[in-house]
Amino acid sequence: MNKTSERTARKTVLSGIQPTGEVHLGNYLGALRQWVHMQDEYECFYSIVDLHAILGEDDPADLPARTLDMAISILAVGVDPERCTLFVQSDVPEHVELAWLFNTVAPVGDLERMTQYKDKSKRYESIPVGLLNYPVLQAADILIYRADAVPVGDDQRQHLELTRDIARKWNARYGEYFPEPEAIIPEVGRIKGLDGKAKMSKSLGNTVSILADEEGVWESIRRAVTDPQRVRRDDPGRPEVCNVFSLHQLVTDASLIPDIEEQCRAGTRGCVDCKRILADSLVREFAPFRERAEHLRTHPAEVRGVLEAGADRARDVARETLAEARSRMGIKWRSAL
Ligand code: TRP
Ligand code: SF4
């Protein structure tokens, strides 16, 4: 396959995901499902962003395992290394150098206005500069592949805006080169946790792993919060306020949705039965993931091979971009002598 000619034919996508280890339903519906769907239409670069992850408080000893587990999950959901480039961010150190070059144009004021920064910085007595610069590295992740589009969750909209600003400022100063990438936000909106309140997250225990078996899925779904006004089994329910119903709309066969809605409103189907249907849908969706993950877990060399080949491919493009950016910024004394 000739990757160079492909670059001109298709638009380029980059996305990144933190190596949290276990992938849950929220990650899947909010991002990974999109990754799978975009593989043929775009030239895709998918990165496990370990250099971003080290800003968290997690034990460094666990990071390698979390990185590999994340790779296994990404491959398990159907991201196909034959059709995209999957790599670990730190394997392509060019990202970091480009981030430094961007630091020279990124305005501190804009970085200080990022909501994620404002939230997270509250947790520190002394704020690390990396927390402020986080979106600059993210901009480098994206622009080093001159990506046109970035599939991300709604919470990353602001970082994408900043990426475009950085591209614009850099281009204004050094000549038109970087595209201003668009955010592609899935229509699913914010995916609420099974508690019906907070965003899905593993640490809040309000989600379900995409590698859960039938029992594990039911264990989580069984406890999901539904319409609080439905107390007795035959009380009429309100699907529009029920998170179980929102999830049905995302994973249950579309032909079943009208019945689920009607029977809820009429009070003819109880919430437990309704949740059984949801659990079935999830088990069906997850089944191939579990099988592939099982295979990969017993063949770690395959995973390693995929990530190494991915890094090689990513580095080819990253080097080219970095060389151009350096040159336009005057970092080329060797050729000047
Ligand atoms: N900040 C993103 C998140 O927390 C992860 C990320 C890092 C990313 N670099 C990226 C996402 C580049 C998209 C593109 O989800
Ligand atoms: Fe929600 Fe289903 Fe119960 Fe209706 S029947 S409130 S949609 S869980």
Q: What is the pLDDT of residues 267-320, one digit of tens each?
A: 999 999 999 999 999 999 999 999 999 999 999 999 999 999 999 999 999 999
Task: Give the mean model confidence (pLDDT) for residues 311-335.
Answer: 97
CATH classification number, 214-293, choose in 1.20.200.10, 3.40.50.720, 1.10.3260.10, 1.10.240.10:
1.10.240.10
* Cα–Cα distances in angstroms (integers) from residue 162 to residues 30, 48, 103, 256, 323, in the given order: 21, 21, 12, 42, 23
15 lines ligand 1 (CB under 6 A): yes
C-alpha 211 to ligand 2 mean position (Å): 25
Contact 142, 150 (CB under 8 A): yes
Spacing, Cα 242 to ligand 2 middle (Å): 6
Q: How many angstroms is it from 244 CA to the middle of ligand 2?
A: 6
Quote the ligand 2 centre to 262 CA distance (angstroms). Answer: 10
Which of 176, 148, 153 has the alpha carbon at shortest distance from 163? 148
Residue 57's CB is within 10 A of a number of other CB atoms, namely 6
What secondary structure letter does DSSP report for 209?
Answer: B
Model pTM?
0.92
Closest of 241, 267, 154 to residue 200, by C-alpha: 154
Residue 2 pLDDT = 46
Per-residue model confidence (pLDDT) at position 328:
98
DSSP H helices, 18-89, are: 25-27, 33-38, 50-53, 63-76
Ligand 2, from 264, 265, 269, 280: best to mutate by most atoms within 8 Å of Cβ?
A: 264
- Closest ligand 2 atom to residue 239 Cα is 7
CA proximity to 321, closest of 122, 47, 97, 74? 97
Return the best residue to mutate from 50, 96, 156 for the ligand 1 pocket (most ligand atoms within 8 A of CB): 156
We find that the CATH architecture of domain 3-191+299-336 is 3-Layer(aba) Sandwich (3.40)
Q: Is 243 in contact with 194 (CB distance < 8 Å)?
A: yes
> Which sequence spans correspond to the domains of the chain?
3-191+299-336, 214-293
Same topology between domain 3-191+299-336 and domain 214-293: no
Ligand nearest to the CA of 245: 2
Whether the CB-CB separation of 187 and 154 falls below 8 Å is answered with: no
Q: Which two tokens stand for residue 27?
A: 């990650």
pLDDT tens across 20-74, in order?
A: 888 999 999 988 999 999 999 999 999 999 999 999 888 999 999 999 999 999 9
Q: Tell me the average pLDDT across 93-100.
A: 98
Ligand 2 neighbour 239 (Cβ under 6 A) = yes
7 vs 69 pLDDT, higher one? 69
Closest CA to 25 of 254, 183, 195, 202: 202
Active site residues: 120, 199, 202
Q: Is 150 in the pocket of ligand 1 (CB under 6 A)?
A: yes
